[in-house]
Amino acid sequence: MTDEQTRVEADFIQQQLQITTPARVLDVPCGGGRLALELAGRGFALTGVDIASEFIDEAKTNAAARGLKIEWHNRDMRELPWRAEFDAAFCFGNSFGYLDDEGNAQFLRAVARTLKPGARLVIETGAAAESLLPNFQPRRWFELGGITLLIDSRYDYEQGRIITDYTFIRDGQAEKRPSSQRVYTFSELRSLFDGAGLHVSASLASLNGDAFQLGSQKLFVVARQRV
CA distance 133 to 87: 34
Give the tens place of pLDDT for each residue, 66-108: 999 999 999 999 999 999 999 999 999 999 999 999 999 999 9
Give the three-class secondary structure for 171: coil
So what's the pLDDT on residue 85? 98
Residue 145 banded pLDDT, cuts 50, 70, 90:
confident
Question: For residue range 29-38, what is the model confidence (pLDDT) as tens digits?
Answer: 999 999 999 9
Band (pLDDT 50/70/90 cuts) for residue 148 is very high
Query: Was domain 3-129+183-225 assigned CATH 3.40.50.150?
Result: yes
Distance CA 217, CA 213 (A): 9
Range(s) within the chain of domains with CATH label 3.40.50.150: 3-129+183-225
CATH class of 134-182: mainly beta
Q: What number is the average pLDDT over the span 151-158?
A: 97
pLDDT of 1 reads 82
All CATH 2.20.25 domain ranges in the chain, comma separated: 134-182
State the chain's mean pLDDT as an integer: 97
Helix/strand/coil for 115:
strand
Q: What is the mean pLDDT of residues 149-162?
A: 97
